[in-house]
Amino acid sequence: MAACKKHKATLVVAKLDRLYRNAYFVAKLMHEGTPFVCVDNPHANKMTIHILAAVAENERELISERTKAALARVQARGGVLGSPAPERGAKAAGIVSAAGADRMADNVGPLIADLRRRGLTTYREIAEALNARGVPTSRGGAWHASTVRNYETRF
């Protein structure tokens, strides 16, 4: 939204209910004059949007109440909430995460090696070159010197 304001652009939202679950948020957005359009309801007027925002906020509250009640019933019957073995889940998640990082390192490794052959010697120079080329990190973020160092230690 900050980018929309800065560039005087229209915010495009796929579904109207994704824009709001809080009626105040929508009212504030409209009051501030941030233009937006929802692909699933492009002709909605201000009144319709206010009504739908109030309905969405109410539904969010009802979902929360139903979820809390269901969890309380499970506990009342002696059920255990959460994973019975969180250490196994954490270990499995670590394995998946490491595998993804290894794949990314395999893909980016040759590019980093090529940048080194071209005379870039510091982690910072390589990070700047990767960012300039639009190469995302495994999480889609920007490259930093420490990120390059971490990738180089993988291969």
Instruction: Please give the Cα distance from 105 to 78 (Å, whole number).
Output: 46
Given 3-state DSSP classes, what are the helix, strand and coil percentages for the chain, each rounded to the nearest 5?
65, 5, 30
Question: Do residue 94 and residue 145 come from a single domain?
Answer: yes
Global pTM value: 0.48
pLDDT in tens, 20-50: 667 888 888 888 888 888 888 888 888 888 8
Question: Do residue 54 and residue 118 come from a single domain?
Answer: no
Per-residue confidence at 70, pLDDT binned at 50, 70, 90?
A: very high
pLDDT in tens, 80-102: 888 878 888 888 888 888 888 88
- Domain residues for 97? 86-152
Domain count of the fold of the chain: 2
Length of the chain, in residues: 155
Would residue 81 count as lying in a domain? no
Question: Does residue 1 have a pLDDT over 80?
Answer: no
Boundary (domain end) residue, out of 20, 42, 76: 76
Instruction: Please give the Cα distance from 87 to 57 (Å, whole number).
Output: 36
